[in-house]
Structure 1
């Protein structure tokens, strides 16, 4: 009797797991069909409705003696879907939106790095701008700073991440991992899970990529200097050059969770310092400042609240306008803090 009850409980638990697995996978496949089928709205609606009815029928049959044949049919359907899904590949050859029309590439000759397709747009609005793509040269022996810039565009938990490098002559260049949209596409965080967008690495002048967020989009923007020795700055800069060249050679899909602006930055920095721990704040980018405060070795003497307050640059960006001295204007002359050098290889 006791063994019988335990057996029933065990079979019931397995059945619940089976139904949950079918329902969850059917939902995910439904989203994939919605974002990827090329049949138009009516065709997609019919296909998704058919898929939903099939999944519901399989779930209902799991409560009958036909449980395993129904499950086997569902597995076959999933395998067919997987074969089709594997044919959806990223590409660099599309009719791209103007701001992501080019991905940065670079060549290295000793200390001299030449970056091709550095974006330097003159932004008036998101739709009204003067496009400029430039070739610029940087001397890595003159590199002097690395800053992390966070632009909050959707509340306190979501921020776009930018890393910017400063040089002794006053030049700054920023790297921003972004969604590469086609001209007809609009951003969708949900679509970003389903192979809709590719990843692009944009190199840009700060009067482009930062000014766009402080002055045009009126986002809440913060700048945090990162403490590392020159060898680390150089290695990080070169890792961005390598990443840009790699994306030009072999495109990758953007993924809202696993391959986005923040996770790309984290992977590059962690390649320099493997001791940096994985943390939920890497995925929830709006909380990166507390990660920086906890793990980047800053000796500020500040509370976390004051640390963040001093990093705010939106008002400085608005005051600077389109000034040629925009980069120096958004950096308070006293600095945010005195960093302790991290030990990068």
Structure 2
């Protein structure tokens, strides 16, 4: 069943999760959402509400702890894996500090992994809060959400007229999986439009799956205005990343978005980025017919950083490191 909120499509993928015979219908709904908005909600995803609630509760316990305690797992201790905690104003988006704190995680790799031994950036071991059950809960959650992301990519492939395993076989059999937990403090007194939890940006990879708490704040740039993406119970907000826009030659839009927490409460969100393998080279899918509306939608979408995705070359890892090094310039010399 597909319905809509005032803003973004809501797509129930429950039948796809149970039976692939519904693939064509859900694929068509995903295709429309990715073309028009670059964003959509999913329900019927099968992620245990208890697992999500447990991780959200543990995250809030961590963010409520003293700063000195949180800094024991600061990103400066994460080395080339680029994992760990950063405080409010510790991350730059759109060239200015974000009003948020957060923890960076990724696929857990041991010291004997060839990529870790070679010192490949963004590969390695996570730094975990010293809270009972945090590590096991987090890793279980990442596994479950990654599986949902792979299922969504099979639906997106169907919507594009491709084989169901198109993305899995070419880009996500060994994906780059990055996971973040963010906490956005309430707005300061007399805050204006320029006080942002995270500045306007696009995501870098294929697909983002975001679980947000009950506090609103996410906004999407659509048709020359900021459109709210309020919380929908038991849902994920999903969006197209730069590499999926590149693969589809602009048919899908990697939409600009930002966060403004104008409430009096903290806002917690948990995005998982399901991205191509680090060494993947991405080229537009040749069988796709040109989309005559792509140029007009891109004009409305506008690129936040001036990048023309049609000119991007090299591996996904090259693209990702270039972006992340600008977000954390203080770590650049240590990691790259």
* TM-score over 0.5 for the pair: no
If you compute each CA radius of gyration, which structure gives the higher value, 1 or 2? Answer: 1
Q: Give TM-score, length-normalised by structure 1.
A: 0.25
Which structure shows the higher helix fraction? Answer: 1
Higher relative contact order (CA 8 A, sep 6+): 2
